[in-house]
Chains A and B, each alone.
Chain A
Amino acid sequence: MREFRSRPRPAWVAGCLSAIVWGAGQGFNRQYLKGLLFFLVGAGSVLIELATGHYGNLGGGFRFRENGGFFLKGIWGLITLGTQPRKMGLSGLTAGDHSIVLMANGIIALFVLLILLFFYIWNIRDAVKARRRLNNTAALHSSLQDLRKLWESMYAYIILSPAALLTLFVCLLPIVFGVLIAFTDYSRSNTPPTKLVHWVGFDNFATVAQVFSWMHTFLGVLLWTFAWAILATITTYFFGFFQAVLLNNSAIRFKRLWRSIYILPWAVPAMISALVFKSMFNGQFGPISQFLLDLGITEDRVYWFTDPSHTYLARILALLINLWLGFPYFMALIGGTLTTVSDSYYEAARMDGAGSRQMFWRITFPIVYKATAPLLMLSFVSNFNNFGVIYFLTEGGSANPNYNFAGNTDLLITWLYKLTLDNRLYNMGAVMSIIVFLIVASFSLLNLRKSKSFEEL
Chain B
Amino acid sequence: MNRTRRNPAGKMKLLLIYIELIVVALIVIYPLIWIFGSSLGSTKGLANASAIPAHATLDNYKKLFQNTDFPLWYMNTLKVAAANMFFGVLLSTLGAYAFSRFKFKGKKASLLTILILQMFPAFLTAIAVYMLFLNFGLLDSLTGLVIVGVAAQLPYNIWLLKGYLDNISTSFDEAALIDGASRTQIFFRIIVPLAVPMLTFVAVLQFAAPWMDFILPRLLISSEEKKTVAIGLFSMISDPTRNDFTLFAAGSVLVAVPIAILYIVLQRFLINGLTAGGDKG
Contact A433 B280, CB 8 Å, known A163-B92, A261-B28: no
> Which of A263, A269, A420 contacts B212 (CB under 8 A)?
A269
Task: Scan B79-116; emit 1 where CB is below 8 A from any A CB, else 0.
Answer: 00000000000011011011100111001101111111
Kindly name the residue among B49, B119, B150, B183 whose own CB sees the greatest number of chain A CB atoms within 10 A. Answer: B119
Query: Which one of A81-89, A126-134, A165-173, A229-237 contacts B?
Result: A165-173
Give B102's nearest chain A residue, CB to CB: A156
**Chain A at the B interface: mostly helix, strand, loop or mixed?**
helix
Q: Report yes or no: B134 in contact with A101, Cβ–Cβ below 8 A.
A: yes
Report if B279 contacts A (CB, 8 A): yes
Report if A79 contacts B (CB, 8 A): no
List, in ascending order, chain A residues with CB within 8 A of B21's CB. 246-247, 252, 258
Q: Report yes or no: B49 in contact with A279, Cβ–Cβ below 8 A.
A: yes
Nearest Cβ on chain B to A320's Cβ, whole angstroms: 10
Q: Report yes or no: A166 in contact with B154, Cβ–Cβ below 8 A.
A: yes
Kindly name the residue among B24, B97, B124 whose own CB sees the greatest number of chain A CB atoms within 10 A. Answer: B124
| Bound complex: CA A55 to CA B50 (Å) | 70
- With A170-B148, A173-B132 given, can you name 9 additional A-B contacts, CB distance below 8 Å? A156-B98, A159-B95, A264-B260, A279-B49, A285-B45, A374-B279, A387-B215, A420-B126, A448-B281
List, in ascending order, chain B residues with CB within 8 A of A270's CB. 212
Give A447's nearest chain B residue, CB to CB: B281
Report if A45 contacts B (CB, 8 A): no
Report if B46 contacts A (CB, 8 A): yes
List, in ascending order, chain B residues with CB within 8 A of A280's CB. 31, 34
Q: Report yes or no: B230 in contact with A452, Cβ–Cβ below 8 A.
A: no
List, in ascending order, chain A residues with CB within 8 A of B152's CB. 170-171
Task: Scan B116-130; emit 1 where CB is below 8 A from any A CB, else 0.
Answer: 110111011111110
Residues of chain B in range 246-281 having any CB-CB distance to chain A below 8 Å? 248, 252, 255-256, 259-264, 267, 271, 274-275, 277-281
Report if A90 contacts B (CB, 8 A): no
Q: Report yes or no: A108 in contact with B132, Cβ–Cβ below 8 A.
A: yes
> Which of B31, B151, B262 contacts A276 (CB under 8 A)?
B31
Q: Report yes or no: A267 in contact with B123, Cβ–Cβ below 8 A.
A: no
Report if A286 contacts B (CB, 8 A): yes
Report if B233 contacts A (CB, 8 A): yes
List, in ascending order, chain A residues with CB within 8 A of B214's CB. 271, 388, 392
Nearest Cβ on chain B to A29's Cβ, whole angstroms: 24
Interface size class of B (residues with CB under 8 A): 35 or more
Task: Scan B128-155; emit 1 where CB is below 8 A from any A CB, else 0.
Answer: 1101101100000000000110111011
List, in ascending order, chain B residues with CB within 8 A of A433's CB. 121, 124
8 A-B pairs, CB-CB below 8 angstroms?
A159-B98, A162-B94, A170-B147, A175-B125, A247-B21, A258-B25, A263-B263, A268-B259
Q: Report yes or no: A279 in contact with B264, Cβ–Cβ below 8 A.
A: no
Report A's interface with B, CB cutoff 8 A. Answer: 100-101, 103-105, 108, 155-157, 159-160, 162-164, 166-167, 169-175, 177-178, 181, 243, 246-247, 249-252, 258, 260-273, 275-280, 282, 285-287, 290, 324, 329, 332-333, 336, 371-372, 374-375, 378, 381, 385, 387-388, 392, 413, 416-417, 420-421, 426, 429, 433, 436-437, 440-441, 444, 447-448, 451-454, 456-457
Q: Report yes or no: A171 in contact with B154, Cβ–Cβ below 8 A.
A: yes
| Bound complex: CA A372 to CA B121 (Å) | 24
Residues of chain B in range 178-210 having any CB-CB distance to chain A below 8 Å? 183, 187, 208
List, in ascending order, chain B residues with CB within 8 A of A272's CB. 35, 212, 233, 252, 255-256
Q: Report yes or no: A378 in contact with B120, Cβ–Cβ below 8 A.
A: no
| Bound complex: CA A182 to CA B51 (Å) | 49
Report if B70 contacts A (CB, 8 A): no
| Bound complex: CA A354 to CA B32 (Å) | 42
Q: Report yes or no: A275 in contact with B237, Cβ–Cβ below 8 A.
A: yes
Q: Report yes or no: A285 in contact with B132, Cβ–Cβ below 8 A.
A: no
Q: Report yes or no: A421 in contact with B92, Cβ–Cβ below 8 A.
A: no
Nearest Cβ on chain B to A261's Cβ, whole angstroms: 5
Q: Report yes or no: A287 in contact with B121, Cβ–Cβ below 8 A.
A: no
> Which of A173, A269, A413 contacts B208 (CB under 8 A)?
A269
Q: Report yes or no: A104 in contact with B128, Cβ–Cβ below 8 A.
A: yes
Q: Report yes or no: B271 in contact with A104, Cβ–Cβ below 8 A.
A: no
Nearest Cβ on chain B to A72's Cβ, whole angstroms: 17
List, in ascending order, chain B residues with CB within 8 A of A385's CB. 121
Lowest 8 A-B CB distances belong to which pairs? A174-B125, A174-B128, A177-B128, A170-B151, A267-B263, A156-B102, A375-B278, A267-B260
Q: Report yes or no: A249 in contact with B154, Cβ–Cβ below 8 A.
A: no
Report if B58 contacts A (CB, 8 A): no
Nearest Cβ on chain B to A305's Cβ, whole angstroms: 14
Contact A336 B271, CB 8 Å, known A275-B237, A276-B31: yes
Report if B211 contacts A (CB, 8 A): yes
List, in ascending order, chain B residues with CB within 8 A of A436's CB. 121, 124
List, in ascending order, chain A residues with CB within 8 A of B274's CB. 329, 333, 375
Nearest Cβ on chain B to A6's Cβ, whole angstroms: 33
Nearest Cβ on chain A to B116's Cβ, whole angstroms: 6
| Bound complex: CA A159 to CA B158 (Å) | 13
Task: Scan B218-248; emit 1 where CB is below 8 A from any A CB, else 0.
Answer: 0100000000001001100100000001001
| Bound complex: CA A177 to CA B14 (Å) | 60
> Which of A178, A271, A392 contacts B124 (CB under 8 A)?
A178
Report if B166 contacts A (CB, 8 A): yes
| Bound complex: CA A195 to CA B24 (Å) | 58
Report if B5 contacts A (CB, 8 A): yes
List, in ascending order, chain A residues with CB within 8 A of B108's CB. 457
Kindly name the residue among B18, B103, B261, B267 whose own CB sees the greatest number of chain A CB atoms within 10 A. Answer: B267
List, in ascending order, chain A residues with CB within 8 A of B94's CB. 159-160, 162-163
| Bound complex: CA A387 to CA B281 (Å) | 22
List, in ascending order, chain B residues with CB within 8 A of A163's CB. 91-92, 94-95, 154, 158
| Bound complex: CA A275 to CA B249 (Å) | 10
Q: Report yes or no: A262 in contact with B35, Cβ–Cβ below 8 A.
A: no
List, in ascending order, chain A residues with CB within 8 A of B102's CB. 155-156
Q: Report yes or no: B17 in contact with A375, Cβ–Cβ below 8 A.
A: no
Give B17's nearest chain A residue, CB to CB: A246
List, in ascending order, chain A residues with CB within 8 A of B211's CB. 269
Q: Report yes or no: A104 in contact with B115, Cβ–Cβ below 8 A.
A: no
List, in ascending order, chain B residues with CB within 8 A of A266's CB. 263
Q: Report yes or no: B135 in contact with A108, Cβ–Cβ below 8 A.
A: yes
Contact A269 B271, CB 8 Å, known A171-B151, A275-B237: no
